[in-house]
Amino acid sequence: MTVMKSELIKLLDFPRQKMTASMELHQCAHNGFFDETDIRCRTCYQGGECTWVNHNDKLVALEDKTLSDLTAQIVLAMDFIDATLEPEHEYQLKCQCDNCSWLTQANNALRALDQSEANSN
In this predicted model, what pLDDT tens digit does every residue of 66-81 receive, in sequence order?
999 999 999 999 999 9
Is residue 32 within 8 A of residue 53, CB to CB? The reply is yes
- Report yes or no on whether pTM surpasses 0.75: yes
Domain that includes residue 11, residue range: 5-120
d(CA 83, CA 73): 15
* pLDDT band at residue 2 under the 50/70/90 scheme: low
Q: How many domains does the chain have?
A: 1
Per-residue model confidence (pLDDT) at position 31? 79
Average pLDDT over residues 40-51: 83
Beta strands in the chain (DSSP E): none
Q: Are 70 and 62 in contact (CB under 8 A)?
A: yes
